[in-house]
């Protein structure tokens, strides 16, 4: 593959969408093909899975936050990721595009292993099998206190967002632990800074990532 794969991670409300769009515009201005996608929900199959993961199962008699068993949840995320890689990510990378995804494997590890106390090794193994070992060249972790980030949300909390302060704090720490374990892939950015300051940190780093990758087939 000749393209470049980039992911954005962090708890909800840290500003991933804003920075993804800035990065898209920046790279397209350079003449590169850019594919922006997300998890869960980056494919038609993923959209159906996303509805279950974020809003619970229709017709369930139990609380929406508890109607999907932890292991079933892990399998649903892995199924979404397998389809996402096969249908969207790998074909774009093979064309030489820059692929930017809002969430990927690390969200499963942080939210499921860190937040829901499942075994990280099992979740990672499942997702690596589902994606045939595909990892991003760079992962931007936008880090912020969950209490502050959630105050930014402008929509009704979904199933993950409403899981409680303890869950969100564990998830944040799980993201930071992942970044510590893989310092070559991760860049941790203070998302409490201004939008412009966060973007400047990303821009400076992505220039280095692209220079190291060399020219890609995605340059039009």
Q: Is 35 annotated as a binding residue?
A: no
Q: Is 14 annotated as a binding residue?
A: yes
pLDDT for 117 equals: 58
Q: Kindly give, in sequence order, each residue whose CB lies less than 8 Å from that of residue 207, ignoring residues fewer than 6 positions away.
A: none
Q: Is 17 annotated as a binding residue?
A: yes
Average pLDDT, the chain: 87
| pLDDT exceeds cutoff 90 at 185 | yes
Q: What DSSP designation does 97 have?
A: P
What mean pLDDT is predicted for residues 85-95? 97
Of all residues in the chain, what percent carry a pLDDT higher than 90? Answer: 63
Q: Kindly give, in sequence order, each residue whose CB lies less than 8 Å from that of residue 163, ignoring residues fewer than 6 positions away.
A: 65, 115
Domains by residue range for the chain, with CATH? 4-213 (3.40.50.300)
| pLDDT exceeds cutoff 80 at 160 | no
| pLDDT exceeds cutoff 80 at 75 | yes
Q: pLDDT, tens digit, for every residue of 114-156?
A: 655 578 888 999 999 999 999 999 999 999 998 776 655 554 5
Q: pLDDT, tens digit, for every residue of 21-39?
A: 999 999 999 999 999 999 9
pLDDT for 120 equals: 84
| pLDDT exceeds cutoff 60 at 63 | no
pLDDT for 9 equals: 97
Q: pLDDT, tens digit, for every residue of 171-182?
A: 899 999 999 999
Pairing assessment for the beta strands 34-38 and 138-143 based on DSSP bridges: unpaired
Cα distances (angstroms) measured from residue 138 to each of 59, 69, 106, 124, 212: 40, 31, 12, 17, 12
pLDDT for 204 equals: 97
Q: Is 15 annotated as a binding residue?
A: yes
Cis peptide before 57 (omega within 30 of 0): no
| pLDDT exceeds cutoff 90 at 55 | no
| pLDDT exceeds cutoff 50 at 220 | no
pLDDT bracket for residue 68 (50, 70, 90) = confident
| pLDDT exceeds cutoff 90 at 45 | yes
pLDDT for 156 equals: 55
pTM over 0.75: yes
Of all residues in the chain, what percent carry a pLDDT higher than 70? Answer: 84
pLDDT for 6 equals: 98
The whole-angstrom distance between residue 46's C-alpha and the CA centroid of its chain comes to 14
Q: Is 13 annotated as a binding residue?
A: yes
Q: What DSSP designation does 10 have?
A: -
């Amino acid at each position: 593959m000749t393209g470049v794969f980039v992911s954005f991670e962090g708890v909800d409300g840290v500003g991933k969408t804003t920075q993804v769009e800035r990065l898209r515009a920046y790279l397209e201005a350079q003449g590169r093909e850019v594919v922006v996608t997300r998890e869960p929900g980056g494919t038609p199959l993923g959209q159906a899975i996303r509805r279950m993961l974020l809003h619970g199962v229709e017709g369930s008699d139990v609380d929406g936050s508890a109607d999907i068993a932890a292991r079933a949840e892990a399998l649903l995320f892995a199924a979404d990721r397998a389809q996402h890689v096969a249908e969207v990510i790998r074909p774009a990378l093979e064309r030489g595009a820059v692929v930017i995804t809002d969430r990927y494997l690390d969200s499963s590890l942080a939210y499921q292993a860190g937040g829901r106390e499942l075994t990280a090794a099992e979740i990672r193994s499942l997702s690596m099998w589902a994606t045939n070992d595909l990892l991003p060249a760079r992962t931007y972790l936008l880090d912020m206190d969950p209490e502050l980030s959630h105050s930014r949300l402008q929509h009704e909390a979904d199933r993950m967002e409403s899981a409680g302060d303890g869950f969100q704090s564990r998830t944040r720490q799980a993201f930071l632990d992942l970044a510590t374990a893989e310092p070559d892939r991760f860049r941790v950015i203070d998302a409490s800074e201004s939008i412009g300051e966060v973007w400047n940190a990303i821009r400076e780093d992505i220039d280095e990532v692209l220079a190291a990758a060399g020219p890609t087939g995605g340059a039009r």
